[in-house]
């Protein structure tokens, strides 16, 4: 039996659907035990450790999808790791961050700490170090098509993003395959693009010129605040843009393509889908 945590999230739903399509025995762990996912749903709340053990009862494998609240991930994830060990889980799969143990990426420390906790547990593991999703840029795509401009602070930095479905398919491949124990996969798209290239692609699909306006990180932070973004969030986003400028998301090792057995989804496909909606 496979338990997928965070199963009502955007990635979790895709993984559950993929496992169902493979005929796997899958149970969804979610805060809302009444969620309609087409499989058994057990209450699993990262912030309520008492729900985690019962949710993992009988599990052979667990997909731990990382929490979405910065600053809370380590205790949340550790609670799942501890429960998985008590439940006798034979394989723990975790969605981590790119190059989590060596990168200066601003969101990496919590993922690094989680990986360390998993290694210390002695559980056989697989780390799926998910890179950036195309879907991170849905608003950017719409903004570019609507205004003829996208704004950032990434300079000429490249982003090797892929579609969320690609990452879900990789998780399904690992959970239904063999030989993945104690493996670390760096999952990125096949092609790393720059923001000027993204703007040009948006323009091609939208049928109008779209330009990329690059700002210093501090000015970009203020730009976001002026657009209504909370100051703390704006600072975090600006730091991520600086990470991109420094090349932290540009690597294309090919692990994702290998796991899913096909090329990753081009960002042009996502642009077309967004602008056609």
Handedness of CA 59, 162, 151, 108 (dihedral sign): positive
Q: pLDDT tens digit string along 146-191? A: 999 999 999 999 999 999 999 999 999 999 999 999 999 999 999 9
Q: Judge whether residue 194 has pLDDT over 90.
A: yes
pLDDT score at 116? 98
**Statement: 2-130 belongs to CATH 2.130.10.10:** no
Answer whether 113's CB lies under 8 Å from 94's CB.
no
Answer whether 115's CB lies under 8 Å from 96's CB.
yes
Which CATH code fits 134-161+188-250+266-277?
A: 3.90.25.10
Q: Mean pLDDT over all residues of the chain?
A: 96
Q: What is the mean pLDDT of residues 41-46?
A: 97
The domain segmentation of the chain, as residue ranges, is 2-130, 134-161+188-250+266-277
Q: Judge whether residue 70 has pLDDT over 90.
A: no
Q: Which of 159, 158, 153 is nearest to 218 (CA)?
A: 153
Is the model's pTM score more than 0.75?
Answer: yes
């Amino acid at each position: 039996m496979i338990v997928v945590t965070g199963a009502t999230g955007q990635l979790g739903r895709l993984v559950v659907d993929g496992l169902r399509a493979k005929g796997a025995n899958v149970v969804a762990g979610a805060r809302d035990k009444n969620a309609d996912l087409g499989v058994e749903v057990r209450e699993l709340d990262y912030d309520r450790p008492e729900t985690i053990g019962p949710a993992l009862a009988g599990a052979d494998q667990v997909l731990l999808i990382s929490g979405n609240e910065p600053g809370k991930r380590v205790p949340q994830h550790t609670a799942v790791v501890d429960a998985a060990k008590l439940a006798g889980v034979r394989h723990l799969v975790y969605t981590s961050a790119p190059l989590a143990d060596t990168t200066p990426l601003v969101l990496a420390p919590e993922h690094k700490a989680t990986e360390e906790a998993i290694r210390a547990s002695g559980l056989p593991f697989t780390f799926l170090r998910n890179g950036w999703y195309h879907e991170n840029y849905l608003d950017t795509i719409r903004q570019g098509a609507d205004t003829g401009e996208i704004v950032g602070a990434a300079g000429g930095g490249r982003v090797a993003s892929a579609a969320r479905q690609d990452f879900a398919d990789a998780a399904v491949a690992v959970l239904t395959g063999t030989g993945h124990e104690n493996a670390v996969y760096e999952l990125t798209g096949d092609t790393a693009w720059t923001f000027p290239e993204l703007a040009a692609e948006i323009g091609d699909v939208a049928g109008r010129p779209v330009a990329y306006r690059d700002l210093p990180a501090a000015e970009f932070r203020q730009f976001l605040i002026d657009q209504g973004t909370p100051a703390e969030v704006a600072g975090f986003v600006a730091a991520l843009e600086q990470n991109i400028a420094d090349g932290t998301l540009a690597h294309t090792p090919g692990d994702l393509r290998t796991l899913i057995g096909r090329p990753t989804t081009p960002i042009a496909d996502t642009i077309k889908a967004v602008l056609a909606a």
